Amino acid sequence: MHPTKKQILQGARVAFAQKGFRATIKDIARAADLASTSIIFWYFGDKDALLLEIVRTASPFAHLEALTEAEPGDPKEELALVVSTYLAAYRDPIERQILLQLLGGATGHEEVRTVLRRHVASITSGYLTGVIRRAQDQLLLERSADPELIAQLLMGELLGMIIRWEVNHSLPWSEETLVRQALRMLGITDGPKSENTGSDQRKHL
């Protein structure tokens, strides 16, 4: 059977998960069960172009890009979906290993850093910050907090969870519990926060 682009990409994912940017064309061909490396060059031109494609599809932000195309809805539900989508993407141990290889080797590859910067701008500084700002407008979150900082902290918490998942090969909590607790850590409430909380408290002193 003629090798497909999908087969090559899957082999590249396995090779990258194991060796990161040190993976060779031969490593990729072996992981993709290819008799020759020539078909890889025919599809991608060179190893760097192939690995860059893996980076584009496997970065922690790429998994959330589809969410940005949806119409704005309930910000609480959107934030829950961000957490559940992120966790679902990294159920796959190969995906977790790719993430760690990516974080460890990105500093030496300017094209990779460019992709990650674009994803950060699109997801953290763009989409997620916008969702949090809408949650603040609806008084579900404290309005005095910096929405972009909250977005960054949420992404950091999720990344830490994925690292623990890979190190321990499992997590002691269900995904449902993680989603619920993530919202609580953000301070998301079931109803609007009162903007007069401070003055109300002073009345009781």
Residues 151 and 137 in one domain: yes
Q: Could you tell me if 32 and 63 lie in one domain? A: no
66 and 19 both lie in a single domain: no
Q: What is the pLDDT of residue 200?
A: 43
In a domain, 200, yes or no: no
| Domain contains 205 | no
- Please report the pLDDT score of residue 190 as a whole number: 59
12 within a domain of the structure (yes/no): yes
The first and second tokens of residue 55, run together, are 């980076």
Report the pLDDT value the prediction gives residue 202, as an integer from 0 to 100: 38
Instruction: For residue 123, give the DSSP letter.
Output: I
Establish if 199 belongs to a structural domain: no
Q: Which CATH number fits the domain that encloses residue 81? A: 1.10.357
pLDDT of residue 58: 79
Assigned domain for 40 exists: yes
Kindly state whether residues 91 and 189 are assigned to the same domain: yes
Domain boundary among 33, 54, 75: 54
Q: Over the stretch 163-205, which tens digit does the pLDDT of each residue have?
A: 999 999 999 999 999 999 999 998 886 555 555 444 443 343 3
Structural domain of 49: 5-54
In angstroms, the CA 32 to CA 15 distance is 9
Q: What is the DSSP string of 55-78?
A: HHHHSTTGGGGGGGGSPP--HHHH
Residue (of 90, 72, 76) closest to 169 by Cα position? 90
pLDDT at 201: 35
**Is the residue at 75 inside a domain?**
yes
pLDDT at 1: 46
Residue 139 backbone zone (phi > 0: left; psi -120 to 50: alpha; other: beta): left
Say if residue 90 is in the same domain as residue 32. Answer: no
Domain identity same for 26 and 121:
no
The pLDDT score that the predictor gives to residue 192 is: 57
**Do residues 77 and 173 both lie within one domain?**
yes
User: Crossing angle, helix 129-137 and helix 147-168, to 10 degrees?
Assistant: 120
Same domain? For 15 and 104 the reply is no
Low-confidence residues in the chain, pLDDT < 70: 1-3, 189-205
Whole-prediction pTM value? 0.82
50 and 68 share one domain: no
Q: Which residues contact 195 (CB under 8 A, 6 or more apart)?
A: 139, 143
In what helix (H) or strand (E) does residue 37 lie, and over which residues does it extend? Answer: none
Return the sign of the alpha-carbon dihedral for residues 51, 52, 57, 62: positive
Q: How far apart are CA 103 and CA 93, in angstroms?
A: 16
| Number of domains comprising the chain | 2
Q: Tell me which long-range contacts 191-197 makes (C-beta under 8 A, separation of at least 24).
A: 192/138, 192/139, 192/140, 193/139, 193/140, 193/141, 193/142, 194/139, 195/139, 195/143
User: Which tokens is 78 given?
Assistant: 């959107």
Do 119 and 180 lie in one domain? The reply is yes
CATH assignment at residue 14: 1.10.10.60
CA distance 50 to 25: 9
Question: Is residue 189 located within the same domain as residue 89?
Answer: yes
In a domain, 45, yes or no: yes
Which pLDDT belongs to residue 114?
85
pLDDT at 110: 85
Residues 11 and 83 occupy one common structural domain: no
Q: Is residue 176 part of a domain?
A: yes
